[in-house]
Chains A and B, each alone.
Chain A
Amino acid sequence: MLLAVTYHLWGFVSENWEELLDGLLKTLKVSAIAIVGAFLIGAVLGAARAHRIPVVSQLTAVYVEVIRNTPILVQIFLIFYALPQAGITLNQFTTAWLAVMIWGGAFNSENFRAGFEAVPYRYREAGYALGFSPRETFLYVTLPIGGRIALPSTINTYISVIKNTSLMYVIGYTELTTTAQNISAASLETLEALTVLGVVYLTLVWSLSAAIRLLENRLALPETR
């Protein structure tokens, strides 16, 4: 059998750019919401873990282990197919950002915990010596320094969050991957669709990785430089 491979990347893009752009925007929107949420969840729960706040700390440990040890696709299925049985029906968009936010929040609370725990005790002592309350010491000493230490690993988690939005394919949410896959299934322009996906995701991921390297140098603590 002879397979005629035709490849018209430009034609594919110019014919479908509106749909593809819409998909990309959905990917970015879901990622942005999830990243902000994962940042907040991570900073709060990471602080609770690092300061061994009773109950919250243990519950966070359970949350982290459950998320880390179950596939994210199972988590998506639980939110999208199982919650309606409990009377909670979420649409595809809400499921999309919620699932990756819960996932990213778990990994991020580990990142922040490690960052906060890496802040030398003498810095906090200095805060207390200046008359800061424990809350002020956290906000003005532990958070800025620990946050900087945790920054590279948190960005890595955000990169994974962006990549994981592609999994919303399984619930038919038309972000970039689902959109490209739908178009290629109809038009059989498989290679063109895959090229678009590869170029867009690698551009996003590689620019964020480059940002990590830049930030690592800019934000490194003076004494570790």
Chain B
Amino acid sequence: MSLPSWVEPVARYILTDGLPGTLRVSAVAVVGSAVIGVVLGTLITIKFRPLQALIRIYVEVFRGLPILVTVFIVHFGVPSFSPELRFAPLTSASIALVLWGSAQVAEATRGAVQSIPHEQHEAAAALGFGWTGRHAWVILPQALRRLLPPFISLLVNIIQNSTLALTIGGIEILQAGKSQQQRLTYPEPIGIGQEHAFEIFTGVAILFFLISFPLTRLAAVLEKRLA
């Protein structure tokens, strides 16, 4: 059985133009979320009210907003203040996902840092570590172990939510599929005058499943092992 001739260019476009967009947004978003989230989640454990309140507001706002609204804020709202803050669609999507993801990570980090027994802090302090050294060398390495499963779940969520880039014109896997689906409905020579939404979007769903499923399994296994 051979595939219809329209499949090859569609699949090629999704993999060469769509997939890199998804991977770029996801990579930036997951690294940014992890770094900013761990820093904020650690800082919020310091008993200094104004700082705690600021971080709490940040976390509650970006966890509370639909990510699509955050995407619109970054892409349409922020440039109103300065034209230099006008970003390319994929950049805006990455920033929005970092705002959302870092709020998630901050909340998880706070829990993980606070779950480290107090003796560990005292032991580190007795060895002469200051606050920074104590957290960098003693507390966070232990907390990060517990954060590994949530980090992988976050990666899965970020990969899936990177599709939101299409709402502002970013080309990622789903947008690539959509533009090819529309192209095929045009008459020749641009398209073939046929509707293939079912095949294309099912293919896109399978592609996302193949990326996500191993990661969710990994997160579940790690969760069991680290519990």
Contact = CB atoms under 8 A, between A and B. Distances in A.
Q: Which of A65, A74, A166, A209 has the most CB of B within 10 A?
A: A74
Interface residues of A, number: 40
A167 B68 contact: yes
Contacts of A84: 195, 197
Contacts of A65: 213, 216
Given A77-B174, A85-B198, A202-B65, A70 B212 contact: yes
A197 B164 contact: no
Q: Which 10 A-B pairs have the closest CB atoms?
A: A69-B212, A71-B160, A163-B66, A166-B66, A82-B198, A81-B197, A205-B64, A85-B198, A82-B197, A73-B163
A70 B73 contact: no
B82 A3 contact: yes
B83 to A, nearest CB: 6
A68 B163 CA distance: 15
Name the interface size band of chain B: 35 or more
Interface string B59-86: 0110011111100110011001111000
Q: Which of A73, A169, A190, A209 has the most CB of B within 10 A?
A: A73
Contact of B76 (A169, A190, A209): A190
B202 A71 contact: no
A73 B174 contact: yes
B204 interface: yes
A209 B80 CA distance: 32
24 contacts: A3-B82, A66-B205, A69-B212, A69-B213, A70-B208, A71-B208, A72-B160, A73-B166, A74-B174, A74-B208, A77-B174, A77-B197, A77-B204, A78-B205, A163-B66, A169-B167, A170-B166, A177-B68, A181-B72, A184-B76, A194-B72, A194-B73, A202-B60, A205-B65
B64 A202 contact: yes
Contacts of B72: 177, 181, 194, 197
Give the dominant DSSP class at A's interface: helix
A55 interface: no
A1 interface: yes
B79 to A, nearest CB: 8
Contacts of A167: 66, 68, 164
Contact of A82 (B83, B202, B209): B202
B216 A68 contact: yes
